[in-house]
A and B are shown apart, each in its own frame.
Chain A
Amino acid sequence: MSVGVFILVSVIKSLIVLIVLLTAVAYTVWLERKVVGHMQNRWGPTRVGPFGLLQPAADGLKFLFKEDLTPPHVYKPLFLAAPMMALIFALTSIAVIPFGNSIPIFGYSIPLEITDVNIGLLVILGVTSMGVYGVALAGWSSNNKYSLLGGLRASAQMISYEIALGLSLVGVLIQSGSFSLRNIVEAQAGRFLWIIPRWNIFHGQFIGFFIYLMAAYAETNRIPFDLPEAETELVAGYHTEYSSMKFAMFFMAEYANMITVACLATILFFGGWNGPLAGPPIVRALLPLVWFVAKVFCFLFLYIWVRGTLPRFRYDQLMSFGWKFLLPLAIANLVITAIVVAW
């Protein structure tokens, strides 16, 4: 593949992934409102389009046309930069996530991901760990006590849960022996005990998955760990002072993070695009993508389900849960996995 073709393919892939991701973000919001609505015996959005399907477009237009307020008491450079940082880091991490095997197009074999890095998992961890700056700086630069408390909570919470998150992934790394997300998925192909798929969650990493799930909820600031924006105590937390498109950026960043976390959970614990294949070649080529999307969808549904079910933790409960329960559990899981693999 020549350099020109490579750049062209990369740009096209980036554009497609970005468009699909942003559409998915918009419809995750719709899904959330619809599902939570049905859980609470309401209808959710119904007015705009069939089943309210055009609601995301209406929301986007509303965000665009709202007045963009910048309160006079804020620290302006960071106030403007914070939402952009949050959104940029949220969108960047999707770049190394593989969605499926290579598909042949015009004689070239195109891998279904923007770029294949052999330290893909570390790249994602690095980018998501930078994501906290958007939230923390937004809280600080707003010059408002509720925002500041939200920002402080966010940074403390993210640092605490990042440790458990990282340790929960080490078990998977030991089993597959690679940082490359593609290799991790390929290590999960096949079955054991005749029928059970060899996905990591069935193959010894159930506790690891549990820790990952908890830590991921805290990392994405979702209920039951959405302390940084707890509206009952902090007005709206770190984005109290934000309006219009700047608020929309935080909103999009949160949902993009959810999707990344769901993709990562699918890849690491649920076998990625592995699944039964059947039918003519074209179906065989596209079926892995369908499996991948279906698994990610299940995760997003789980997110919403939890949001509709659980109350919010108290802040001290959150911290002691992270440090006194998840962290020791993650270390124990790591030690046991290492012993089993070595043996």
Chain B
Amino acid sequence: MRLLLVLLVTLWASAASAQSLQDLLQADPEAISDPSRRTVGEVLGRLVDSGLPEVPAFLQHWQAKEVVQRRSDGLFFVGEPDGDGHILHDVSNGAEAGRAGPREVEELKPNAGVRGVIGSALIRFQLSDPDPARRQAALDAIANDPAADQIEPLRASLTDESDPAILVRKERLADLLAARFGSDPAARIAAIEDLGSDIAVEARAVLNQILASTSRVADTIPEEANVARTLAPGSADLPREAAYVMLVEAGLAPPRVTEAEIRDALSAAIADGRVGDAPAATLGTDEARHAAYDAMAAARGLPPRVTEAEVDAALASHAFWQDYEETDPAVTAAAERALGTAESRVRLYQTADIVLDAVSLASIYFLAAIGLAITFGVMGVINMAHGEFIMMGAYTGYVVQTLVPDYTLSLVLALPLAFAVTFAAGVAMERLVIRHLAHRPLETLLATFGISIALQQIAKNIFGTQARPLTSPGWLDGAWIVNDVLGIAYIRIAIFVLALLFLALILVVLRRTRLGLEVRAVTQNPGMAASMGIDPDRIAMLTFGLGSGIAGIAGVAIGLYAKVTSEMGSDYIVQSFMTVVVGGVGNVWGTLAGAALIGVLQKWIEWFNPSNTLAAQTYMILFIIAFIQFRPRGIVAMKGRAAGA
């Protein structure tokens, strides 16, 4: 009987390729239902070799503890929990195969070790999955949780890879794994050297893991230690206190008695208002407390105080160093070299990244300031309400967006509409207020400030204090990612392009049109321009409208990447003034230069201390104040008579 069974099993097994998965599993049901870490490899090998397409799905279910075995016939199913029983699904095609009560099936619960082995077998499948997304997912899984046993499946899948991008990623991951877990030093060093040309975060993380080191202390540095560097106690890397704490933790020196411990010991020893000979009330200084403690320490079995001299002696007589966890010096040296190469490349890209950031910040400042520069240059008028025109533009965009749900269309509508609204507001302000304050620039400044606070409060009353979103269209979402270090959001590129467009537009208007000619004439000499038949009032009005209109468009652009609030104008107004003043008044190129200088400067200062943008702004303003000392008329100073105004 038994012989027959064995024969049958052999027959089945030999015909496995033609059989269903269930038959394959039934060939050795024990190995499935009660696997151990040692034995599971064999059955997994058989399953994988069968080439059945449903094997990966089954392995996933098995790993997820979703496979059940029916007690009555020992068949395996995928069990979907249903109340206290299971709905059974066929292992091959997932078809429903009835319901089983709680007692009728047994859930298979492979232990963690077995699930790990199943997992790595699964990765082998996923790495050659026809779906590229699955292959990417498998690579992500390896990158997140690298392990030595993944090297083989990864290498094996390299030959069949068709997608070039994934192939690159696989090769890199294989290198990473080899560098970290490889057994042969020469191969590891080769892999590590490959990583030096790689600036991905993953690669640097692996190098850093290889270079992981711990601080140690001993009488002398042992011969066999792979020393990263020696540490001098009292230096910035190893403060004196920390060094002594290391000594104490290593058992090489007695712990210091802290002032708090002395206080507690003395407090505990108070008897009749005295500690030993000293009245407790006199123990209000460190010296008195030390003396009292020293007097009683020996008698009461308290640890003696460690003097500063003893600390110094202990520190001097021991060696402090950091050693690598990796014992092979050749490997760590290669890793240091590779990391050095990678980091110098990273610095290069970081510089490029900062430049990109600075350019995009400069475009925003340029957009915010150019309108101000025009009005200031032509009319000598500081418009404190300029920031509120930016805010008006942004709210126009917001209102358009609530009316027109399509983001692209609403943006296309919002730009000219914002221009129109703020153009009208600017013209109205010029006619009603500024015209009457001609030749009184300081009073104009204050009157426009009055308008500014009124507009700000009106916006607050209408739209509330809550920030309103101005959503950019879908095609502006996301970012252009060059590599792990270098990337820039599309919205910033769009703002840059918008700034370039306006630069070109303003240059064309000022240089190639009749209006521009008249504006330049009025800028240089209003009286003479008037006697040539130009109406300075009309030009002033149009210029003011133009400057305000550009502020409106800047508002839409700024609103797209920052939130729209009633106070957004005041965030930009001082920076805009600074841009104009630094650049030089009344000159488009000056404003451009000012915006570029301020943008680059701000990002550059932020780079020194990225966590503190407030400090960056402070230093930047201080720099600008100093800069004005050397070029009081800005980078691009006007020459001739206009400069004296």
Q: Do A and B belong to a common assembly?
A: no
Which A residues contact B (CB, under 8 angstroms)? Answer: none
Which B residues contact A (CB, under 8 angstroms)? Answer: none
